[in-house]
Each structure stands twice: as C-alpha cells, then as structure tokens.
Amino acid sequence: MSLRLKLFLLMAGITVFSTTGVTAVALWREVQRGQELLYREGAAMAQATASSAARWLRPDGAQPGAGEALTAVLGRLVEAAPLDRAWVVDRAGKVVACVSPTHEDCTPGPPTEFAPAESPVQALKRLIEPEGIVTGAPVLREGELVGAVRVDFSHEEVVGSARRLAWSSALVAGFWIVLGQAFAALLFAGIARPVQRVIDAAHALGREEDGRQLALPADQELRDLVGAFNAMSTRLKERRDENQRLIATLEKRVEDKTRDVLRADRLATLGGIAAGFAHELGNSLNVIRGYTAVVLRELPAEHPNKPDLEAVKRETHRAASLMERFLVFARSRTTLVTPQPLEPVLREAVEVVGPAAAQGHVRTSLEIEPGLPEVSADAELLRQAFLNLCVNAVQAMQPGGGTLAVRLFADRGAVVAEFRDSGPGIAAEALKHVFEPFFTTKANGTGLGLAIVRQAAETHGGTVEVESRPGQGALFRVRLPARAPATEAIA
Ligand SMILES: Nc1ncnc2c1ncn2[C@@H]1O[C@H](COP(=O)(O)OP(=O)(O)OP(=O)(O)O)[C@@H](O)[C@H]1O
Ligand SMILES: [Mg+2]
C-alpha cells in the first residue's frame, strides 16, 4: 500500500470517526426528544377527539350510529395530522370506528391499555424498523371510563427529522473529508517531493558514484535523511576516487614491470651472445699475450721494437682482464649457497684492499656487531661484491686519501654491510645510473663493478642502496636476509 493511500485512509478515518461520534449523540437526543413530543402531541389530539367520542359511547357500549359519526371525526383528524391510523374503542376494547389511509387494521384492546414507557434503545430501534408511535386518550362520560381514542403517527413522521439530521451530518462529513484530502495531498506533496528527489539521486548515484549532493530541506526528519544521503554519496565518491587511483598506480606498475621484463629478456639474450664473444676474445687475447711474452723474452734488450711489444703486452693484458670481469657479470654461474656468517667474507675483502688503501692514504676501519645471525650466501660472489665497493671507495678518494668505514650489523631481519667513504660523493644525475652495467665516469673503468654488486645482492634475495651528495662522501648499503635461528631439535 502506497504512502499516499495510507494518508488518505487516515484522514478519511479521522474525519468519519469524529463526525460520526458527534452526530450519533446529537441524533440519539433528537430522536428521543422528537418521540416525546409526538407522544404529547398525539395524546393532545386524542384528548380533543375524546370529548366528541364521549357523546357516542356509554358504559355498556357504543350507541347506534356511533361508527359513522366517529369515523367522520377521525377522518378529519387523519387529514389534519400525519397519522397512519386513528381509531376509537369502547369500554370492552372493541373497535367502534377506524380510519386507516394505509389500510392497516386498527388494534382492538381495553381502553385502560396504554403504551408502556420506552427505553432509549427502543427509540433508536424505531429508526430501523418501520414502526410508528401509538398514543391515545381515555374517553370519559360523567367521570366514568367508556372507551379510548387512539392515534398512530406515521413512521415517516417519527424518523423524518432524525433522517434529515443524519443527511446533513453526512454532508458535513463529506465536506470535511474533501477538505481533509486536499490538505493531506498538499502535506503529502511536501513530504513526497524531497523523498522522490532522494530516490532519484540514489538511483543516479548507483550508476555514477559522482558524489552528488542534495539541498537540505527545512523539515528536521527529511533534513536528517538528505544529510545521511549526502554523507553516503561523499564517502562513495572518495572510495571510487581511491579505487581509481589504485587502479592507475597498478596499471603504471604493470606497464613498468612489463617493460623491465622485456628489457631484461633482451639484455639476457644480448648478454649470452656477448659472453660467448668475450670468452672467444679472451682466449685469443691470452694466446696473443703468451706469444708476446715469448717474443719479448727472446728479443735483445736494446731491440728498437721492444717498447712497442711491451705496449702490446700491456694492452692485451688490460683487454683480457676486462673480458674476465665482464664474464663474471654476464656468465650465469651456478651459485653455491651455504649458511655461514658474513664476517669472514667481509673481513677478507677489506684485507685484500688494504695495500691499495694504504698506498692511496685511505684509513680503513671495520666494525662488526657481535652475535650476528648467519646468511645463506655464496662466499665468492659476495667477496667480489664487497671488494668492488671497497675498491670504488679507495679510487674515489684519490688523490689525497680519506677514510673508509665499513660496518656489519643486524637490522630488521637482515644483515647489513655498510661502506661509508669521505670521498667527493656522487652527482644526483649519476646516482640514478651507478648500478647500470657499463656506467662509468673513469677513463679505465668498465662500469661493471656496481652492476656485479647489485646482481650479487639480488641473487641472495637482498638489496643494495646508495646515499650520496656531492662533496659529502658516499654510502653503500648491502642488505641480505638473515637466516632464522635454528630451532633446537627435540631430544
Ligand atoms: N664510492 C664512490 N664514490 C664516488 N663515486 C663512486 C663511488 N662508487 C662508484 N662511484 C661511481 O659509480 C661509477 C660506477 O662504478 P662501478 O664500480 O660500477 O664502475 P667503475 O668503478 O667506474 O669501473 P670498474 O669497477 O670496472 O673499475 C663510477 O665510475 C663512479 O663514478
Ligand atoms: Mg668500480
């Protein structure tokens, strides 16, 4: 059932109940009063006729000709008043004269018999049943009861005024119902319009989630409803924006990763080919170096081509070691991972760089946190990586020297090897590329040192990061996942 219909029924119900209640009381009183008046009026009419009847009735019965004479009198009475019947009975109760326009029989009965007092309910019952009001007056002759005159008011006369009252009440009720409905329609429109607006907006919000806002109506309840809708709309829009942001980020990351994977794939192919070349070239260079060494040994010391041959040997050596370095980076060597402490590996790397550091006036320090967990590591690979970092630091501080502080410590489930130098630092632009293969700022550099460091860290499931600002030294941090401490075997 719609709200509109409910409101209509409510208004109609209230109007009908209130009007009916008032009308019923008024009606009841009117019926009672009207019937009392009719009783009295009937009695008075019968009384007036009783004096004429007294001439024709005796204690022993009616005189001859009484019937015709009294019928004429009663006829005049019936014409003058709204009566269904009028009749006269003698002392024995026999009907002497009867006038009945409705052709209803006149009821015989002793003159002493009068209508008993009526209850209020009987007065109302008469509204439904077609029953008139019978009243009368005794006929007295010389003080003696000789008969009675009876009159019967028509039913229409009894209920007429009550019916008129009922009709007018119904009219009044109808008027109020129409007025009430008009008022209810106005009221309903005031409520329904904002509610309809919220419904439409909710549909639109379900389609678009655009954070639409509705104007707040004046009524408190509707204001609360619209306020709740506005808050919900805002939240939905925020969520949608957040989701779109996340989707955009994810799409960007997928795109970047796809590009990285494709690049890595291409590089791996190129790396494979290059490694093959490097291997072959390395072999040839070693052969050239061997023959050059033999020729150099056999040439007399003062031979004019000896310095040229020495240059050939030196450059061949340089090219061969470059090839070797490249092969370390490019060759997919099987890593030999075993659980072990990092301390000896790091110590060895720092010791190896020691002579070069001393020569370049670099003071090295090594600080190791006690009780460090072990790491699953390929010692050779990591030693190479740590050595590259130390060599870079020493080289960066030339000429003039400086300090290289190496630390090993545990941090959030990882073992961290940190290399801090007091060199010139790295320019922001170079910082983005230092881990890329072949990026170098050195005349004789290969640009593979840091690429090997990153490869070694990632092979161990770790990371390498750099912090540096020009003029403030450089800091490299290799972070390797620590092994979980071994659980004690249950005996
Ligand atoms: N400690 C550092 N201080 C300043 N710059 C550094 C440092 N370490 C690396 N770099 C910069 O990063 C570049 C790349 O270093 P990487 O070790 O990969 O190659 P390289 O040292 O140039 O060559 P190679 O290692 O083959 O001798 C260096 O050329 C240098 O410019
Ligand atoms: Mg290097």
The full set of domain ranges for the chain reads 3-176, 209-332, 334-481
Convert the pLDDT of each residue in 292-304 to its tens digit.
Answer: 999 999 989 888 9
The mean pLDDT of the chain is 85
Answer with the residue of higher pLDDT: 260 or 324: 260
**Ligand 1 within 6 A of 426 CB?**
yes
pTM here is 0.47
Q: How far is the CA of 127 from the centre of ligand 2 (A)?
A: 122
Determine the Cα–Cα distance for residues 176 and 182; give it in Å rounded to an integer. 10
Between the CA atoms of 404, 408, 411 and 415, what dihedral angle is there, to the nearest 10 degrees? 120
The protein residue whose alpha carbon is closest to atom 12 in ligand 1 is: 434
The reported pLDDT for the residue numbered 124 is 67
Is 334-481 in the same CATH topology as 3-176? no
Q: How far is the CA of 451 from the centre of ligand 1 (A)?
A: 10
Architecture of domain 3-176: 2-Layer Sandwich (3.30)
Ligand 1 pocket: which of 364, 440, 446 to mutate (most atoms <8 Å of CB)? Answer: 440
The protein residue whose alpha carbon is closest to atom 8 in ligand 1 is: 392
Q: Rounded to an integer, what is the distance from CA 371 to the centroid of its chain? A: 54
Topology of the domain covering 334-481: Heat Shock Protein 90 (3.30.565)
**Ligand 1 within 6 A of 448 CB?**
yes
**Ligand 1 within 6 A of 434 CB?**
yes
pLDDT beyond 50 at 128: yes
Ligand 1 pocket: which of 434, 454, 475 to mutate (most atoms <8 Å of CB)? Answer: 434
**Ligand 1 within 6 A of 452 CB?**
no
Cis peptide before 399 (omega within 30 of 0): yes
The reported pLDDT for the residue numbered 182 is 86
Q: How far is the CA of 391 from the centre of ligand 2 (A)?
A: 6
Answer with the residue of higher pLDDT: 123 or 205: 205
β 474-481/414-421 pair status: antiparallel
The pLDDT of 34-62, averaged and rounded, is 86
φ, ψ of residue 409 in degrees (nearest 5) = -150, 165
The protein residue whose alpha carbon is closest to atom 1 in ligand 1 is: 393
For 157-172, b/e burial (b = at least 16 CB within 10 A) is bbbeebeebbeebeee
**Ligand 1 within 6 A of 447 CB?**
yes
pLDDT beyond 80 at 31: no
pLDDT beyond 90 at 221: no
The 3-state DSSP class for residue 416 equals strand
Determine the Cα–Cα distance for residues 330 and 448; give it in Å rounded to an integer. 10
The pLDDT of 303-330, averaged and rounded, is 83
pLDDT beyond 90 at 14: no
Q: How far is the CA of 424 from the centre of ligand 2 (A)?
A: 15
Convert the pLDDT of each residue in 144-187 to its tens digit.
Answer: 888 999 988 877 777 777 777 778 878 887 888 788 778 878 87
How would residue 490 be classed by pLDDT, with cut points 50, 70 and 90?
Answer: very low
Determine the Cα–Cα distance for residues 238 and 253; give it in Å rounded to an integer. 22
**Ligand 1 within 6 A of 152 CB?**
no
pLDDT beyond 60 at 446: yes
The reported pLDDT for the residue numbered 405 is 95
Q: Percent of the chain having pLDDT more than 90? A: 27
Determine the Cα–Cα distance for residues 333 and 327; give it in Å rounded to an integer. 10
The protein residue whose alpha carbon is closest to atom 7 in ligand 1 is: 392
Convert the pLDDT of each residue in 386-441 to its tens digit.
Answer: 999 999 999 999 898 999 999 999 998 899 999 999 999 999 899 999 998 888 89
